[in-house]
Amino acid sequence: MSINRNLIKKLPGFIEEAVYERSYEHGNLIYITIAVWECEDVLQNAIEAVQAENKKQGFNPAEMFERLPLHQTGEHIVKWTIKKKIIMSKIFFDAGISLDGFMAGENRGPKNPIGDNGTMIHQWLYKQKAFWKFLGMEGGEEEGDGNDLIVKTFSRACAYIMGKRMFEEGEANWPEDLYKAPVYVLTHEKRKPWVQKGSTVFYFINDGIESALENAKANAK
């Protein structure tokens, strides 16, 4: 079992493990190992890797359990559990919009992000020190409630989903490693992931927002 424990720690998607032992009267022992994984896919890969290693080593767990001298009410009791981590996540929508329903101005594009006069919607944002800190720059003058909102929003966001238009405007203007998290771009364009220096990776999703959301929830850390 120590071979398996050392092996799984090196596998992709492994998060942590816990080992529990409890001794009862007459020398009976319950030994449980719980391994926590990022998602169900990596868990299944881990099970297959352990089974392959057991076969390579000529080790048959079932046979070992049969001959172990552990008894409780006349039965052999040994339990080894691999448990998938259940990731509890919240989804929140972050956008700026005017009272009359506009999110951007006309003539928007990579050379004119947010469109003509589109920045007017975000004037409050540009005054916050936290906004400029997120960009890796000096700026802003306010540190009140608006600033705290920005800090809380960015600190709890572990993955992002955006549309193609926002990405195209940002691709030409954003600094490197802006989001520091996986970003899923909804688009019909087929494109390989854009891996930036740091922890920002842009993934291009062609099969709908449901797929983007599933990936974001699975990979948010």
pLDDT of 91-130, one tens digit each? 888 888 888 888 899 999 999 999 999 888 888 899 999 9
Say if residue 21 is in the same domain as residue 78: yes
Give pLDDT, residue 220: 81
Q: Is residue 147 part of a domain?
A: no
Residues 122 and 191 in one domain: yes
Residues facing residue 183 across a β-bridge = 160, 202
- How far apart CA 175 and CA 172 sit, in angstroms, is 9
Token look-up 């990979």 returns: 219
Q: Is residue 53 part of a domain?
A: yes
Specify whether the CB–CB gap between 96 and 122 falls below 8 A: yes
Which domain, by its residues, includes 19? 2-84
Split into its structural domains, the chain has a count of 2
pLDDT tens-digit map of 159-172? 999 999 999 999 99
CATH of the domain at 44: 3.30.70
> Does any domain span residue 96?
no
pTM summary value: 0.58
